[in-house]
Structure 1
């Protein structure tokens, strides 16, 4: 069956939406056509989909969906929520287009929205966020999803189909003209993941990384103290004059690398290749150096969930930039020997030689790379004390025993 959607975009540096183009998908093959009336010369992916108004591009990746549109598809958590909400009215297999059409446009990643007609409707761009005071209700909802209980608050459910993140519960909440992504402890977590991630983010901030604004909340929920990691949404900024949010364009590392999601082919999942594409995108050298340091940090803490969707890029002030660090959690089930992406000459293996082997791709002199690596490895004792400060004794022992040995 052929499915068609229209892609809308909030024009960069403007508070107005327009139709970017049309996407049609049939039997795993797609066609994307730019609107002949698209009013500006800027597009999200000028490499694979350069702007030619009215031109139809065949789409071969992701069973017919361009990566820059895949970036706004609800993540695994959002997809599970949608399936539960619409289980009675939809008994057929879900397609990517279904996930896009059934989900809420309000909290999508970046500046894109979708709709079913060739016109930007008010419904498509209306902002509808839950207030931060609804956090307690969200915890009830998340537990209901995990335990298979009845879903009672549909409006709350529809507000949590963001494309940010992965399979863990999360919701975008509004407070005092800012948006926040709230991530509670999941019911099956072996350790207190919100505390672990907070410890990693706060340590990275302490060491000079560009890190998302973050906080750790503790609330009473049914007689128990619950931890929630709160991240400020950096892709939105409130416009006092217009009374709504400016949405900054975003791309995942997956899109920048023209790689695919949901396949076993990870050949392009690579830090050096990502650095090369950052150069092609005219992203500042300091951001490329930051990516190298993030790779070293992921190796230090054992974060092997550093896949391409956990690296992002934001368009602000007429340039693309490496987005703040926003999803950093060490492996909690085993001691990782590899990262999710290729590091260097020896693939994705966590080792000193491998971490140093790709420095040229990041425009870093080999001696400077050695100094960077020695500096990061020298943080280990300080990291240990930082973990002790924020984690319970059991969680600390669990996490620290899984830290990789880098030699």
Structure 2
């Protein structure tokens, strides 16, 4: 494994999409925080759009409040990906004590170019290559190698990982899909997907539970990332299709809801009605997207998905309509042991979602009248009520159904 960065930090070019369109320059400075400047050609380009809401569409160097401008922060590894990077870096320092300590900017640098979320890419003009691209040991593993990746993830949790294990995992832990053990994988049809693995800390079949939620969401009329269960050596693994790539491999710009609201994602006081305002201002099809958002809130409430923080909602840029759409839903998890209330507020006045009445009362803000809202509620509740049949189809039996039943048995019309 190569060291994460050279002694001197050169500026990097920021490219957009598979074609490598130059859109800006990333100034890395001391390693504690970066700066950014738009490429003047991109500012004049008819296809121009603001890459991140914390960037002004002007020439000159801009200094983000965080380590990077927020849309690039969205490509950073999550807690699992950071854990892999820290282990890999520790092994490098064992081999060479002169290896520099990790700086905040380094984590984004370790992400594999092929696996990086969205359309932003980091290009090193000195080497003439994208960061973490190519190399004999750097590739997105195909599905047929998933048993090796699963073994590597288990070894990392145990603290017994080898250099080869780290090579399978390094740079593949994306910001999509939460903090669970995971890896980007290439599915049997060549498309990118996220493989999510059981954790030693699990007390129920979390993997099948997430796929259950994703498939129920699809039945409820929600755009959702396709998800299925693959059994690898007797272990259930969730395979969730990446939605930031097209069928022909093009990259689609992505930002999280946290980025849209210029939040670090840890601020719990932001509200879904703020996302309504974002869609009204910058949405590709605002009313349809706002209706979709309310449908998702109903679904989250009915399955007790309480992990709805702002990084678990995303937006994709529609270049033809020149606006943003909700990304397919992802990271949906029934939480049977939790109090049934959302993490993100419904409105800035009402706070967290904890009842059907609260959602129905807010429906007009989501451009729905009482009849429309009632019809959506009934559709979602009917789909959720069939959860047992879907769960059995995924291989859940007996105690699994008992484990998850509290998430689905509640007021509001979703039966068991």
TM-score by length of 1: 0.86
Change (3 A) 1:381 1:140: same
Counterparts of residues 223-372 of structure 1 (less than 5 Å):
225-237=234-246, 239=248, 245-261=249-265, 263=266, 265-268=267-270, 270-284=271-285, 285-319=287-321, 320-332=324-336, 334-344=337-347, 345-372=349-376
- Tell which deviates more after alignment, 358-367 or 211-220: 358-367
In the TM superposition, residue 249 of structure 1 has moved relative to its aligned partner by: 0.9
Residue 81 of structure 1 is matched in structure 2 by 84
TM-superposed CA distance for 1:341, in Å, is 0.6
- Shift of residue 276 of structure 1? 1.2
- In the alignment, is residue 157 of structure 1 matched against residue 169 of structure 2? yes
Residue 4 of structure 2 aligns with which residue?
Answer: none
1:25-70 Cα offsets, whole Å, 9 max, x none, are 66966532223454735244364323223x222322x3x4221111
- 1:183 Cα offset (Å): 1.1
Tell me the distance in 1 between the aligned counterparts of 2:50 and 2:117: 13
Q: Is 1:393 the counterpart of 2:410 in the alignment?
A: no
The reply to whether residue 202 of structure 1 matches residue 219 of structure 2 is no
Other structure's SS at 1:246 match: coil
Q: Structure 1 residues 404, 256: CA separation in 2 closer, same or farther (over 3 Å shift)?
A: farther
Distance 1:191 1:123 in 2: 40
Tell me the distance in 1 between the aligned counterparts of 2:229 and 2:127. Answer: 38
User: What are structure 1's unaligned runs of at least 5 residues?
Assistant: 240-244
- Determine if contact 1:336/1:402 at 8 Å carries over to the other structure: no
Cα deviation code 1:144-184 (max 9, x no counterpart): 11111032314312252322222101111223331121112
> What residue number does 2:5 align with?
none
1:9 is paired with a residue whose SS is strand
Q: Secondary structure at the match of 1:237?
A: coil
CA pair 27-119 structure 1, distance change in 2 beyond 3 A? closer
Q: C-alpha offsets along residues 357-393 of structure 1, whole Å, 9 cap, x if unaligned?
A: 3223322123422332344344453234433554221
CA contact (8 A) 2:221 2:380 kept: no
Name stretches of at least 5 consecutive residues in structure 2 with no aligned partner: 1-7, 94-98
Contact 1:299 1:404 in 2 (8 A): no
Mapped partners of 1:369, 1:69: distance in 2: 36
CA contact (8 A) 1:8 1:120 kept: no
Q: Distance in 2 between matches of 1:92 and 1:398?
A: 47
The answer for the alignment partner of 1:169 in structure 2 is: 181
Q: 1:279-322 CA deviation, whole Å, 9 max, x = no partner? A: 11123121221111001100000001111111111124423221
* Mapping of residues 125-204 of structure 1, within 5 Å: 126=133, 128-153=139-164, 154-174=166-186, 175-204=188-217
Structure 2 CA distance for aligned equivalents of residues 190 and 170 of structure 1: 18
TM-aligned CA distance change 1:144 to 1:187, over 3 Å? same
- Write the distance in 2 (CA, Å) between the matches of 1:150 and 1:46: 37
Q: Equivalents in 2 of 1:102, 1:380: separation in Å?
A: 40
What residue number does 1:113 align with?
121
Distance 1:65 1:168 in 2: 24
Residues 95 and 341 from structure 1, CA distance in 2 versus in 1: closer, same or farther, beyond 3 angstroms?
Answer: farther
In the alignment, which residue of structure 2 is the partner of 1:242?
Answer: none
Compared CA separation, residues 6 and 366, structure 1 to 2 (3 A): farther
Aligned equivalents of 2:314, 2:118: Cα separation in 1: 10
Q: Is the 8 A contact 2:227 2:241 kept in 1?
A: yes
Which moves more between the two structures, 106-115 or 381-390?
A: 381-390
Distance in 2 between residues matched to 1:380 and 1:204, nearest whole Å: 8
2:107 to 99, 103, 106: 99
8 Å Cα contact 2:268-2:309 kept in structure 1 = no
Residue 58 in 1 paired to residue 49 in 2? no
Q: Distance in 1 between matches of 2:379 and 2:22?
A: 48
Equivalent residue in structure 1 for 2:129, among 122, 126, 130: 122
Match of 2:15 among 4, 9, 17: 9
Distance of 2:140 and 2:50 partners within structure 1: 25
